[in-house]
């Protein structure tokens, strides 16, 4: 394929990504450093990361085989040392630590000015390696069986838990992201990681509803979490009917605020198809699937704020 088959502006974007990675690689190389005789290969780690991120971010290819094929057909002039698909895939799997670090760098350096720093949205989404009807065998040390209540399904895999700064009329900005095995409850992660944050108003789903915990964080940390009203078992019908109008209004208000984090997850799925990991066959492959796709998505905050 010839050089001019891709518009010049897309080559400019390729260069921007390459120079950005090279600029950060002084820090990233500690997470993929080699101690062999071939520690300085002709086809560099910077080039592999550039190809992966450029093709996924700007061309929309999410499968590694398709990314490699595109690079062979259209980017050979830029990367003449690009080898076989097997070699590319093996090299890419060694870079999961570097991608993990790069996600953090992008998140720290691209915080928008319109974030409301004392209001946060929280929720989770599944990363599915296989259906719950089967026996999950991929990456058993970091995955297990869980249930996604919004989809009404059991699955094997992981959960992506996100705490995001609220932005009025826009997608929330990720403040923290944690990955857990699928069986870990959302409120368990909240208690462990976020319940001690001070001077914060949280908005979450019903699963985060815990009156005793909420009273504790109000008293100790001057924070509070709002969730849609959760029905109380055994409550008398007369009380339910009396409070129904007020509870419905409150629940609707909270749901409207936290709707944007659901939109963020939908955007993440549409942009990089992060939820489906059924083609992954190893732990390193799963980590690349997670951190590589997150990095490709977060490039939007860096280059398209």
Q: Give the number of domains in the chain.
A: 2
Residue 246 confidence (pLDDT)? 81
Helix (H, G, I), strand (E, B) or coil at 166: strand
Residue 229 confidence (pLDDT)? 86
* Residues in Cβ contact with 238 at an 8 Å cutoff, skipping those fewer than 6 apart: none
* Residue 302 belongs to some domain of the structure: no
Quote the distance between the C-alpha of residue 92 and its chain's center: 19
On whether both 155 and 257 belong to a single domain, the answer is yes
Average the pLDDT over 278-295 and give the result. Answer: 94
Query: Is 196 a residue whose pLDDT tops 70?
Result: yes
Residue 235 confidence (pLDDT)? 62
Encode burial over 144-175: b for 16+ CB neighbours within 10 A, e otherwise: bebebeeeeeebbbbbbbbbbbbbeeebbbbb
Beta strand 153-166 with 173-181 is antiparallel
* Residue 283 belongs to some domain of the structure: no
On whether both 260 and 147 belong to a single domain, the answer is yes
On whether both 195 and 155 belong to a single domain, the answer is yes
Residue 219 confidence (pLDDT)? 96
pLDDT in tens, 76-132: 989 999 999 999 999 999 999 999 999 999 999 999 999 999 999 999 999 999 988
On whether both 268 and 146 belong to a single domain, the answer is yes
pLDDT band for position 173 (cuts 50, 70, 90): very high
Instruction: Look up the domain containing 249 and give its range.
Output: 114-278
Which of 10-19, 197-206, 213-222 is the least confident region? 10-19
On whether both 66 and 164 belong to a single domain, the answer is no
């Amino acid at each position: 394929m010839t050089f001019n088959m891709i518009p010049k502006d897309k080559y400019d974007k390729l260069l921007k990504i390459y120079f950005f990675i090279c600029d950060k690689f002084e820090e990233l190389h500690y997470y993929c450093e080699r101690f062999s005789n071939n520690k300085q290969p002709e086809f560099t780690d910077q080039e592999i990361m550039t190809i992966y991120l450029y093709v996924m971010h700007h061309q929309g290819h999410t499968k590694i085989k398709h990314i490699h094929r595109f690079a062979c057909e259209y980017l050979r002039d830029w990367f003449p040392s690009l080898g076989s698909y097997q070699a590319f895939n093996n090299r890419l799997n060694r870079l999961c630590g570097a991608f993990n670090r790069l996600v953090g760098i992008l998140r720290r350096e691209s915080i928008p000015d319109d974030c409301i720093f004392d209001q946060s949205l929280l929720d989770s989404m599944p990363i599915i390696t296989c259906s719950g009807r089967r026996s999950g065998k991929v990456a058993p040390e970091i995955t297990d069986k869980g249930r996604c209540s919004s989809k009404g399904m059991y699955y094997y895999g992981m959960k992506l838990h996100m705490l995001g700064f609220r932005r009025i009329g826009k997608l929330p900005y990720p403040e923290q992201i944690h990955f857990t095995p699928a069986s870990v409850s959302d409120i368990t992660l909240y208690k462990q990681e976020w319940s001690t944050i001070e001077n914060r108003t949280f908005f979450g789903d019903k699963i985060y509803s815990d009156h005793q915990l909420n009273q504790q964080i109000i008293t100790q940390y001057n924070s509070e979490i709002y969730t849609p009203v959760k029905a109380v078992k055994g409550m008398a019908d007369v009380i339910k009917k009396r409070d129904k109008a007020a509870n419905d209004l409150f629940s609707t208000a909270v749901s409207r605020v936290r709707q944007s984090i659901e939109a963020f997850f939908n955007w993440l799925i549409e942009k990089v198809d992060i939820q489906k990991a059924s083609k992954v066959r190893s732990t390193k492959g799963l980590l690349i699937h997670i951190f590589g796709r997150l990095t490709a998505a977060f490039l939007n905050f860096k280059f398209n704020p």
